[in-house]
Amino acid sequence: MKVVIFSTCVVDLMFPNVGKAMVEVLERFGCETFMPMRQICCGQPTFNSGYIAETKHVMHNEVDALLSVDADYIVGPAGSCVNMLKELPFHLKGEPAYQAKAQAVADKTYEFSQFLYRVLGVENAGAELDAVATYHRSCHMTRLLGERTSPFVLLDHVKDLKMIPLPHIENCCGFGGMFSMKEPEISRQMVDEKVNDVISTNASVLISCDPGCLMNIGGRFNRRGEKITIMHLAEVLNHNVDLSRVTYVDTREKEGVLA
């Protein structure tokens, strides 16, 4: 199975360890991975800032880059960015040279946890992490991409990991890409509320599937002088792996669970 890695800007520039962990997990489950170097950005930051026409050439470049390898799937480590790829057919509608290609990208693109659980059928990735943790559920991945299940199933099967429910898990962390820059005072209040909720769990590790959220929340922890270890789900699933612990969703349940 050939998989193109959609690296995303934040992972490429700020969290390369997350990209490395994602690739190692995917290859452990039999995927042949490819990383097209032409990819730069999906265009989400400028598009969301209102520069719609100016962003089109960025979207074109991303489509061409991701389709430069004849792969079965495209997998990314951020629900927010993956959702942007899913929306490309709408944003490039009416462009004869790109509408069909944008649809091809959208049809085979998955967020990392989605791909493991819903495509490969992985239930237990064989990881072990002796820690007390809580999970931040990002807005874009939940509300736009519509994924509310995959990360929790995978985390529930990590050996020795104790997960504590995060109060007000539905609340935004205040990042929202350009929102945190345009509305810094509101953003700061939102992330302070999120930090307080994380602290209330007494967890030592904060896990998420969106590096942007981890950067925002972890940064606020640092500025407040509070301590937390931030981990992307890919890093958790790549920690102390024992392949004998790997399990898959039962074949009889696959049709209903993975739909």
- pLDDT tens for residues 135-183? 999 999 999 999 999 999 999 999 999 999 999 999 999 998 778 788 8
Band (pLDDT 50/70/90 cuts) for residue 127 is very high
Rounded to 5 degrees, what angle do the CA atoms 126, 127, 130 make?
140
What lies within 8 Å, CB to CB, of 248 at 6+ separation is 120, 121, 122, 123
On whether the CB atoms of residues 211 and 11 are closer than 8 A, the answer is: yes
Domains of the chain: 2-118 (3.40.50), 124-237 (3.40.50.11810)
Q: How many whole angstroms separate alpha carbon 118 and alpha carbon 98?
A: 28
Q: How many whole angstroms separate alpha carbon 87 and alpha carbon 101?
A: 12
pLDDT averaged over the chain? 94
Band (pLDDT 50/70/90 cuts) for residue 250 is confident
Tokens read off for 228: 């937390």
